[in-house]
Amino acid sequence: MRRFSKISIGLAVSASLAATSATAARPAPIIDVHVHALSADDQGPPPLAMCTPIDPMPTWDTVKPVMGNFLDLFKKPTCKDPIWSPMTDAEVMQRTLAVMERNNVYGVVAGRFKLVSEWRKAAPSRVMPSLVPDFPLKPGLAEELKEGKASGMLGVIGELGFQYDGISVSDPALEPLWAAAESNDIPVAVHFGPGPPGMAYVPGSGYRARLSSPLLLEDVLVKHPKLRVNVMHAGFPMLDDTLALLYAHPQVYLDTGVIVYTQPRPAFYRYLQALVDAGFGKRIMFGSDQMVWPETMERAIRVIEEAPFLSKEQKRDIFYNNAARFLRLDDATIAAHHRK
Ligand SMILES: [Zn+2]
């Protein structure tokens, strides 16, 4: 759901995490593959409210400016228990890290290099940095990624939000990115699906809903068979396209993304259950898409925990095992995460 930033970021992640300090009874570990390190004003002037879920979805009367629609959504929440966003960057970080500590969450954290570095410094064992290269892509990208990975600082490339610029993932201009990610064996995390309602009308936005289909990835995957891809937001609501992609391309994973807390539960559960019922329970990863509302992560965890159609084992796969496999975490890291 995050707006794509053209601001550069250097590079990123260590999959080998240091052990954290022991606490009495830590809950079973969770990997959240979709966390953002953002400034407090990244989504608009704080404080901003987030309803979980957003229900009813906004109705835009076009006699009003489109930005008024956003203001209503974020400043005049209609739900009883909105999460209000922090006023400072430091508080966004501190409140999010507190939620992660409380729930024993390890996060793939995306953002600008400076903020991601600060988060990593504050919680080295819990933050796996995820960054995006400069756009337009420059020559020497593969080498840059290689150096980032070798330095132990590059694990995931993302969140890649081409949809917000109206650019399809199959655009030839992106070819060097897929090639460089594949040759360096660095996973990519790509936005598919919902942006804020009305996003297409925001000045400068190229957002198009039709670019929500993860099937747009198909030629990229065939050309780069070793590329590891996280289809963010599970391609919602393009269920048939998502099922077709998962079936035909068994290396593709997806994350729950923002739909886990923005969609009314019946809609999210129907979608998630359809994916699980179709046999893809080993390829779904927990991702909260926490932006500037730290406690959305906690509410998102609850949505999965309370899903009546998931077994205990399926929940553990979604919360941890699938992401550990996708990220290729080593045995020592997995053992450290599971330390009581
Ligand atoms: Zn996101």
Task: List, as ranges, residues with CB under 5 A of the ion ligand 1.
Answer: 2, 159, 289
Give the Å distance between the CA of 258 and the centre of ligand 1. 7
Dihedral of CA atoms 47, 199, 11, 96 in degrees, nearest 10, equals: 30
What is the distance in A from the centroid of ligand 1 to the CA of 257? 7
Contacts of 316 (CB under 8 A, 6+ apart): 28
Ligand 1 centroid from CA 36, angstroms: 7
Q: Where do the domains of the chain lie, and which CATH numbers do they carry? A: 30-45+87-337 (3.20.20.140)
**What pLDDT does residue 5 have?**
37
Distance 247 CA to ligand 1 centre (A): 24
Q: What is the DSSP string of 76-131?
A: S--SSSPEEPPSSHHHHHHHHHHHHHHHTEEEEEEE-HHHHHHHHHH-TTTEEEEE
Q: What is the pLDDT of residue 24?
A: 63
Residue whose tokens read 């609850």: 302
Q: What is the Å distance from ligand 1's center to 271 Cα? A: 19
Q: φ, ψ for residue 128 (rounded to 5)?
A: -105, 110
The model's pLDDT over 113-144, given as tens digits with 9 standing for 90+, comes to 999 999 999 999 999 999 999 899 999 999 99
Report the separation in Å between the CA atom of 16 and the middle of ligand 1, taken as the mean of its atom positions: 23
Q: How far, in Å, from the CA of 4 to the mean position of ligand 1?
A: 9
Q: Which residue bears the tokens 């391309």?
A: 249
What is the distance in A from the centroid of ligand 1 to the CA of 159?
Answer: 6
Q: Is the dihedral of CA 161, 167, 173, 179 positive or negative?
A: positive
What pLDDT is stored for residue 7 in this prediction?
Answer: 32
- Residue found under tokens 């065939």: 222
Strands (E), 61-187: 83-84, 105-111, 127-131, 156-160
Task: Using the mean position of ligand 1's atoms as its centre, give its distance from the Cα of residue 160 in Å.
Answer: 9
Tens of each residue's pLDDT in the chain, 340 residues = 433 333 333 333 333 333 444 456 889 999 999 999 999 999 999 999 999 999 999 999 899 888 877 788 899 999 999 999 999 999 999 999 999 999 999 999 999 999 999 999 999 999 999 999 989 999 999 999 999 888 767 889 999 999 999 999 999 999 999 999 999 999 999 999 999 999 999 999 999 999 999 999 999 999 999 999 999 999 999 999 999 999 999 999 999 999 999 999 999 999 999 999 999 999 999 999 999 999 999 999 999 999 999 999 999 999 999 999 999 999 999 999 999 8
Query: Cβ distance 255 to 285 under 8 Å?
Result: yes
Give the pLDDT confidence score for residue 65 in this predicted structure. Answer: 87
Distance 340 CA to ligand 1 centre (A): 30
* Contact yes or no for 115/4 (Cβ under 8 A): no
Q: How far is the CA of 25 from the centre of ligand 1 (A)?
A: 30
CA–chain centroid gap for 68, Å, is 27
Buried b (16+ CB within 10 A) or exposed e, 218-230: bebbeebeebbbb
Longest dimension (CA), the chain: 59
pLDDT digits (tens, 9 = 90+) for 45-71: 999 999 999 999 999 989 988 887 778
Number of H helices, E strands in the chain: 13, 10
Give residue 109 CA to ligand 1 midpoint distance, Å.
10
Which DSSP letter does residue 166 get? T
| Å from CA of 22 to ligand 1 middle | 30
Contact 27, 146 (CB under 8 A): no
CA of residue 289 to ligand 1 center, whole Å: 5
Q: Distance from the CA of 226 to the center of ligand 1, in angstroms? A: 24
Cα distance between residue 17 and residue 127, in whole Å: 8
Look up residue 246 and give its amino acid: L
Whether the CB-CB separation of 327 and 188 falls below 8 Å is answered with no
Task: Tell how far the Cα of 224 is from the centroid of ligand 1, in angstroms.
Answer: 24
What is the model's pLDDT at position 6? 34
